[in-house]
């Protein structure tokens, strides 16, 4: 496990806030100067009260009121300025991490757990913000307070101060040792918490499966075990923390006893007055808070270090598919697609596509058929560069897709997946997904082409009906038509359709099929065809395709029209017999 601190990596995020931090620190310094004044005032008050000097007391009380008023003002400045800087730093870090995550490619998200990612973006970043805030707002003021008050105490009586400080290095060593222990336990407990939320996200998104397999009991057990591990890890961290307070507290009590003993001795030697000693004790009392705050800050900083590690570890991940520097915008394409000697593997030892060659003419409809796991999805996923082939090239209209920007490439490729994902938002927002500006009339005509207009307008809120989480439930067929409307609105030259394997009722099926056929035509029902890749599961689809490619073990083993391939009586004929007849 990595132990080196990543805190220094926060520095670039502090820089833009340097002006606010400097103002806050100026307030802090002003605030600190008041500590020895307060210690002195306490000694003076004790003196005038001891002498029964009421006039003297009134003067001191008046002066004290001014001192506390000014001190309160600078304290307000220190608190608000620092909170402001820390919150902006956390916000900037959160924006940066989120934008970074959006740049990462699919293969990263397939390996990571969504619960863990959201934990990092929320809890971990909040903790870093708190660390920054506490560092400037508590830790530095406390250290300054310690220095100034100690200085005042040395000025009052250095022998006494020396004696009281004997125990300090021992204390510092012990605090350091406990801090290290605590860091290890806190890392462990944070990992456990994010395991727990990752597990929850997984279970709730797959709740249908849990129900279908009557696996509730099994899931409850799994959850209980995970929650128990979490409890244990947290309890261990709490125990270490509690022990730390006991030991530090005991050492503090011992140093106070020592102080009284030394104080009595110094007064008996005539080196210190009674008022001086009271002022001195007030100084010691003023040391207690900063010592205990810096001690607890130290443990919090150690805990925050784990969060910091997890954030900067995330920021250090490089996407495996990157946009070339100086990438050009892919011009509006005709839709010719060419795969040249393309080989691809998700894991190096398991090749998925091998030396694949394919030329697709503009406007051609290609149906991909073959057994599950043959590589059909992989083949089409290389086109929008969701993954990068290890060898070979893919060209669109003769332009290598590696040379163009992601956005210009992906905007020309429409994808209708098997399962439509709806985000929380209105139906209109879902149809216009990814478009910052859209016209309602375009959304409506897209929905009409996609056979979705009718069911949408039946909702009382029409296009403004809320879908996604906490929204209305749409049937499988309705969701598919929303996905088709999305693609219609995008109006791409190239389409990738992943036909749903699950059967719809015959009416829905007919509506979806009709919508798909309209989508395959160019520009809102024009006569030109788009270039279409369909991962086909239905006979009507393969029959209508211009060309059928039979994919097996990452290779195109047969290609031709339905009739040609049937007449050939080989792989397709066999596949057809198994799947469709």
Q: Which is nearer to ligand ADP, 75 or 553 (CB)?
A: 553
Cβ burial of 209 (10 Å; 0-12, 13-18, 19+) is exposed
Give yes or no for a contact between 390 and 344, defined as CB atoms under 8 angstroms apart.
yes
372 binds ligand ADP (CB under 6 A): yes
**Backbone phi and psi for residue 451, each to the nearest 5 degrees, phi listed first:** 55, 30
CB of 351 to ligand ADP, least distance (A): 9
**Residue located via tokens 């979490």:** 230
Whole-angstrom CA distances from 496 to 383, 404, 422, 532, 553 are 9, 19, 18, 6, 21
Other C-beta atoms closer than 10 Å to the C-beta of 352 total: 20
CB of 29 to ligand ADP, least distance (A): 56
Nearest Cα neighbor of 126 from 98, 78, 95, 94 is 94
Q: Which is nearer to ligand ADP, 202 or 397 (CB)?
A: 202
Q: Which is nearer to ligand ADP, 233 or 496 (CB)?
A: 496
Q: Which is nearer to ligand ADP, 273 or 418 (CB)?
A: 418
Convert residues 94-113 into a mask of x (bound to ligand ADP by CB under 6 A) and - (unbound): ----------------x---
Long-range Cβ contacts of 428-433 (<8 Å, 24+ apart): 428/463, 428/464, 430/467, 430/468, 430/482, 430/486, 431/463, 431/482, 431/485, 431/486, 431/489, 432/486, 432/489, 433/486
Give yes or no for a contact between 348 and 376, defined as CB atoms under 8 angstroms apart.
no
Using CB under 6 A as the binding rule, the residues of this chain from 184 to 213 that contact ligand ADP are none
473 binds ligand ADP (CB under 6 A): no
**Residue located via tokens 């009121």:** 65
Q: Which of 189, 197, 294, 377 binds ligand ADP (CB under 6 A)?
A: 377
Structure tokens of 358? 């394919």
6 binds ligand ADP (CB under 6 A): no
160 binds ligand ADP (CB under 6 A): no
436 binds ligand ADP (CB under 6 A): no
Q: Which is nearer to ligand ADP, 266 or 377 (CB)?
A: 377
Give yes or no for a contact between 367 and 536, defined as CB atoms under 8 angstroms apart.
yes
Q: Which is nearer to ligand ADP, 88 or 321 (CB)?
A: 321
Other C-beta atoms closer than 10 Å to the C-beta of 66 total: 9
Convert residues 323-362 into a mask of x (bound to ligand ADP by CB under 6 A) and - (unbound): -----------------------x-----x----------
Task: Assign 356 to helix, strand or coil.
Answer: strand
CB of 114 to ligand ADP, least distance (A): 15
Q: Which is nearer to ligand ADP, 277 or 344 (CB)?
A: 344
CB of 576 to ligand ADP, least distance (A): 17
CB of 354 to ligand ADP, least distance (A): 12
CB of 251 to ligand ADP, least distance (A): 56
**Residue located via tokens 């006494």:** 160
Q: Which stretch binds ligand ADP (CB under 6 A): 118-126, 180-188, 235-243, 373-381?
A: 373-381
Nearest Cα neighbor of 576 from 546, 537, 545 is 537
Q: Which stretch binds ligand ADP (CB under 6 A): 87-95, 132-140, 183-191, 368-376?
A: 368-376
Residues binding ligand ADP: number (CB under 6 A): 11
Q: Which is nearer to ligand ADP, 25 or 106 (CB)?
A: 106
Q: Which of 378, 451, 531, 541 binds ligand ADP (CB under 6 A)?
A: 378
**Residue located via tokens 């332009």:** 399
Contact positions vs ligand ADP (CB under 6 A): 110, 346, 352, 370, 372-378
């Amino acid at each position: 496990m990595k132990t080196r601190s990543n805190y220094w990596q926060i520095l670039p995020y502090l820089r833009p806030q340097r002006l606010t931090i400097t103002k806050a620190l100026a307030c802090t310094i002003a605030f600190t100067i008041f500590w020895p004044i307060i210690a002195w005032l306490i000694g003076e008050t004790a003196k005038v009260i001891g002498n029964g000097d009421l006039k003297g007391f009134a003067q001191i009380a008046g002066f004290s009121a001014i001192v506390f008023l000014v001190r309160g003002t600078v304290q307000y400045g220190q608190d608000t300025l620092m909170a402001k800087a820390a919150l902006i730093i956390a916000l900037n870090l959160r924006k940066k991490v989120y934008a970074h995550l959006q740049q990462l490619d699919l293969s990263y998200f397939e390996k990571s757990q969504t619960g863990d990612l959201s934990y990092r973006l929320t809890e971990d970043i909040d903790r870093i913000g708190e660390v920054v805030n506490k560092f400037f707002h508590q830790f530095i003021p406390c250290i300054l307070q310690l220095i100034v008050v100690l200085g005042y105490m040395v000025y009052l009586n250095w022998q006494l101060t020396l004696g009281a400080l004997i125990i300090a290095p021992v204390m510092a060593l012990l605090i350091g040792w406990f801090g290290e222990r605590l860091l290890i336990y806190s890392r462990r407990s944070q990992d456990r918490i994010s395991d727990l939320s990752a597990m929850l996200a997984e279970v709730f998104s797959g709740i249908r499966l849990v129900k279908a397999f009557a696996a509730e009991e099994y899931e409850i057990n799994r959850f209980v075990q995970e929650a128990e591990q979490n409890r244990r890890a947290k309890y261990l961290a709490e125990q270490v923390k509690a022990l730390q307070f006991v030991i530090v507290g005991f050492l503090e009590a011992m140093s106070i006893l020592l102080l009284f003993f030394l104080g009595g001795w110094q007064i008996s030697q005539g080196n210190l007055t009674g008022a001086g000693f009271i002022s001195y004790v007030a100084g010691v009392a003023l040391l207690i808070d900063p010592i205990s705050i810096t001690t607890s800050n130290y443990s919090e900083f150690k805990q925050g270090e784990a969060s910091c590690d997890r954030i900067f570890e995330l920021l250090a991940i490089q996407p495996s598919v990157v946009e070339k520097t100086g990438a050009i915008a892919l011009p509006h394409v005709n839709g010719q697609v060419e795969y040249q000697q393309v080989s691809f593997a998700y894991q190096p030892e398991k090749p998925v596509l091998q030396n694949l060659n394919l030329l697709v003419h503009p406007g051609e409809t290609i149906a991909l058929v073959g057994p599950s796991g043959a590589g059909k999805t992989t083949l089409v996923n290389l086109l929008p560069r969701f993954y990068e082939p290890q060898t070979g090239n893919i060209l669109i209209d003769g332009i290598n897709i590696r040379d163009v920007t992601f956005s210009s490439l992906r905007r020309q490729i429409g994808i209708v997946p098997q399962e439509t994902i709806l985000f929380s938002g209105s139906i209109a927002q879902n149809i216009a997904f990814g478009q910052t500006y859209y016209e309602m009339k375009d959304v409506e005509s897209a929905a009409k082409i996609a056979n979705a207009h009718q069911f949408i307008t039946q909702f009382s809120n029409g296009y403004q009906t809320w879908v996604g989480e906490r929204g209305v439930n749409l049937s499988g067929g309705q969701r598919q038509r929303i996905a088709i409307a999305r693609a219609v609105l995008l109006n791409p030259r190239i389409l990738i359709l992943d036909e749903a394997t699950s059967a719809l009722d015959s009416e829905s099926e007919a509506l979806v099929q009709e919508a798909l056929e309209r989508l395959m035509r160019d520009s809102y029902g024009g006569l030109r065809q788009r270039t279409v890749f369909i991962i086909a599961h239905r006979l009507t689809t393969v029959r209508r395709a211009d060309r059928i490619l039979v994919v097996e073990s990452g290779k195109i083993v047969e290609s031709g029209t339905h009739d040609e391939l049937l007449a050939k009586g080989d792989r397709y004929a066999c596949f057809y017999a198994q799947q469709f007849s």
